[in-house]
Amino acid sequence: MSSVPESLRLRREVSPLELFYDLVFVFAVSQLSHHLLEHLTWRGAAETAVLLVAVFGTWSYTSYEATFLDIHRQVTRWMIVVVMGLGLFMNAEIPGAFEDRAWAFVTPLLAILFFAGAVTALAARTEALREHFRRTLVWMAVSAPLWIIGAVVAPGPRLYWWAGAALIDLTGTWLAHPLPGRQLSSPRLEFDAEHMLERLRLFFIILLGETVLTAGRAMADAPVDLPSVLATIGVFIALVCLWAVYFGGGEDVLAIVVASTTDRLRAVRLGGNSAYLVLAALVALAVGSELAIAHPTGHGSVTLALLLFGGPALYLATTGWFYYVTAQGAWTERFIATALLVVVGVAAIWLPPLASLALLDAILLVTAAVLAHAHRTLTRSLRDAGAT
């Protein structure tokens, strides 16, 4: 019999406080998009990637910690409120993080990581969880000096120090923060997987909503003419298709996978890990959409093609990998669509943005329809396998 209290095995609904907390980090997505838009170079993309790992890492850490601690506990609620306040300051400083406000970004970042990690290491209900979050604090202690040195040095070399810190944090997340002879044994942990899956699902919806707002702001600044209106419609269709790629039956597949696996934490953890790339994909698409709406009949470029087609391609490739390692289905269609986006994206370098959007929409519409059928077939297959 499990030694974990029955309360840990209850299915908990996502609380209003958690949704309120998410809004602080949706603000960060907008800031990341603007940073990339203002720095459309390879260095600017690298800076955005480093900031994305830092920002989404804080959301991911604290969301998992809140799930383990139980959002209905008083200590968890206070932790979330404190992190919200710190996160607001951190995300507000994203535009100046690689300029003259590095300390204003790094200080709340490290405060969030060590504060939330310490709370969970002390207040988690089982020794296995407390020990895991003590290991997490060790990984954070390794990356923290790099964040601090990066804040001290000039903006030029700062990218390299912070990239090293972000790589350590990302590696720790992907490997579940192991230490020599000590690692996470997730099959032995009781975990409200459905709760965390819902957290990721709702966060994804909010991210898509932020991209819609980006398109709306671009439309408000653009002339009210037919090309701009058509470009906005094209961006909206692309976003609806990306929504349908998941919500066109994909959530049913993942729910069955999580419910039937013997390692529920691993399945959800892989989803959280892949969310870094999904977020990067949506940031790229948001910036590409803003450029296309602003100049729908302008000239194509490598930058615009990378943003408009690279974003959705990264999104489909990432989710394809996730479906491959968890559901063993509905991944081939995603990889085929990814390859098609890459090929057409190369051709889009010489096409006006409006034509590129039309091609993007055509590919995504077909992909969404094909995946809706694939998800239904896979859902029936998984249910039949579970019934036998």
Q: What is the pTM of this model?
A: 0.91
Please name every residue paired with 59 in a beta bridge, in sequence order, or none if there are none: none
Residue 59 CA from chain centroid, whole number = 9
**Residue 217 pLDDT:** 81
User: Is 90 exceeded by the pLDDT of residue 159?
Assistant: yes
**296-313 pLDDT, tens digit each:** 998 889 999 999 999 999
**237-251 pLDDT, tens digit each:** 999 999 999 888 888
Alpha-carbon span 251 to 257, nearest angstrom: 10
**Residue 151 pLDDT:** 96
SS3 182: strand
Give the list of residues 6+ apart from residue 203 with CB closer than 8 angstroms, or none.
Answer: 22, 25, 59, 275
**Nearest C-alpha neighbor of 243 from the set 371, 52, 373, 348:** 371
**Residue 2 pLDDT:** 36
User: Is 50 exceeded by the pLDDT of residue 4?
Assistant: no
User: Is 60 exceeded by the pLDDT of residue 9?
Assistant: no
**Residue 188 pLDDT:** 64
> What is the average pLDDT across 58-63?
90
**Residue 224 pLDDT:** 80
Concatenating the DSSP letter of every residue in 28-40 gives HHHHHHHHHHH--
**261-302 pLDDT, tens digit each:** 778 888 888 888 999 999 999 999 999 999 999 889 988 899
Residue % of the chain over a pLDDT of 70: 95
**Residue 194 pLDDT:** 84
Rounded to a whole number, what is the largest CA-CA distance in the chain? 68
User: Is 80 exceeded by the pLDDT of residue 187?
Assistant: no
Structure tokens at 154: 């000039």
Structural domain spans, the chain: 12-184, 193-387
**Residue 83 pLDDT:** 94
**According to DSSP H, which parts of the chain are helical?**
16-38, 42-69, 74-92, 102-123, 127-152, 155-175, 193-221, 226-247, 250-260, 264-294, 302-326, 332-347, 353-387
In angstroms, the Cα distances linking 33 to 80, 94, 215, 283, 313 are 25, 10, 12, 5, 18
Q: What angle is formed at CA 284 by the lines to CA 282 and CA 287, rounded to 5 degrees?
A: 110
**67-112 pLDDT, tens digit each:** 888 888 899 999 999 999 999 999 999 999 999 999 999 999 999 9
